Structure 1
Amino acid sequence: MHPDWPIRLISTELILPNEHHIEARLLEVIASISGSGRWTTPIVLEQRSLAVMDGHHRLAAAKRLELSRVPCVMLDYAQVTVEARRIGYCVDGEEIVKRARTRMLYPPKTTRHIFADTLPDCDVDLSILRAAI
C-alpha cells in the first residue's frame, strides 16, 4: 500500500464515470458486495475532477445498492499510466477527464489504468456507506 494514498469516503453523486459498464459484470459485482455486506476495494478517482480511473462497475453497483458514498483513492495522471484497450480511442488523462465531464462515455473496458504501487485494501460495512452524508 502506498502511504500517500489515503482512502476517503466520497459521495456517489460527485463521481464522474467515463466508461459504460457491462450489465452482466455489474450483476456479479452487486452479488459479491451484497453477499459479503462489505466494501473491500476502493474506487480510484482523478483527484481534481473525480473522474473514475478504476472502478466503473463498483460505482454502478454502489448506485444500484443505493449507497450514498464509497471508499475512494485520489490520484492524478502524473502518478498513473493509461493505455487503450480498444483500437481507435484516445485515452490520455485529459481526454478521459473531458469525456467524464461531458458525459461522452467510452464503451466498456476502453481504458486501462496502470498504477505504480499496489492500491490499498479497505473493509467498510455497507451500513456506513448507506448513511446520509
Structure 2
Amino acid sequence: MKLAIVEIEFIDPERILRNEEHSAAHAEELANAMKYSDLWRVPILLEKESLAVMDGHHRLAAARSLGLIRVPVLRLDYQHVEVVATREGFTVTPDEIVMRARQGNLYPEKTTRHMFSSPIPNCNISLVLCRGRVPGMPEIR
C-alpha cells in the first residue's frame, strides 16, 4: 500500500490513543518548530479502527501542547504494516498494541517499530487549519 495515495483526514487529537511513552523534551522541541514554521509537516499514522498511534507519538504530544483541535492523520490497518519490538521482554503484536492503547497501559518510549511499505509522505499543512474553525473546512471527527 502506497502511503502517498491514502487520504489525509483531520481528527481531534484527544480521540487519538497513545500506546507508548514519549520524550517530553523532544515533543517540546517539535512543538516549537511547528510554531516557528506555522506548519504541520508529517501526518500521524493511526490504526484505522482504534485510532492507536502507529507513528507520531511526539507529534501528538506537540499538538496537544499547542492546543490544536485537529491534526492530519493517515488511517492504516495492520494488514499493510509490520511491527516489531525494539526492547527485549515486551510482546509487540497489533492486538497487544491496540489493547494497551485502549487500556492506557503504555509501552516505554521506542518499544515498538512500525515498518511501512513506502515512506511517510509530507503534508505541509498550515497550523491555521489545525487551530480552529475554517470556513469550508470539513468538521473534525
Shorter-chain TM-score tier = over 0.9
- The alpha-carbon deviation at position 2 of structure 1 amounts to 3.5
- The alpha-carbon deviation at position 118 of structure 1 amounts to 2.0
Structure 1 segment 49-128 matched on structure 2, within 5 A? 49-128=50-129
CA-atom RMSD, angstroms?
1.2
Q: Which whole-Å deviations, capped at 9, do the CAs of 1:21-52 have from their partners, x for residues lacking one?
A: 11121121112111110001000000000000
Aligned-pair identity in percent equals 48
In structure 2, C-alpha distance between the alignment counterparts of 1:115 and 1:121, rounded to whole Å: 14
In structure 2, C-alpha distance between the alignment counterparts of 1:40 and 1:52, rounded to whole Å: 17
Q: Secondary structure at the match of 1:104?
A: coil
Structure 1 segment 39-54 matched on structure 2, within 5 A? 39-54=40-55
Q: Structure 1 length normalisation: TM-score?
A: 0.95
Maintained 8 Å contact 2:4/2:120: no
Return 5+ residue gaps in structure 1 as ranges. Answer: none
| Number of residue pairs the alignment of both structures matches | 133
Q: Structure 2 length normalisation: TM-score?
A: 0.90
Return 5+ residue gaps in structure 2 as ranges. Answer: 134-139
Maintained 8 Å contact 1:5/1:120: no
Maintained 8 Å contact 1:18/1:103: yes
Task: Report which stretch shifted further, 28-37 or 91-100.
Answer: 28-37
Corresponding letter in the other structure for 1:24: A
Task: Report which stretch shifted further, 112-121 or 100-109.
Answer: 112-121
- The alpha-carbon deviation at position 3 of structure 1 amounts to 5.0
Corresponding letter in the other structure for 2:51: L
- The alpha-carbon deviation at position 88 of structure 1 amounts to 0.6
TM superposition outliers: structure 1 runs of 4+ over 2 Å = 1-4
In structure 2, C-alpha distance between the alignment counterparts of 1:22 and 1:3, rounded to whole Å: 28
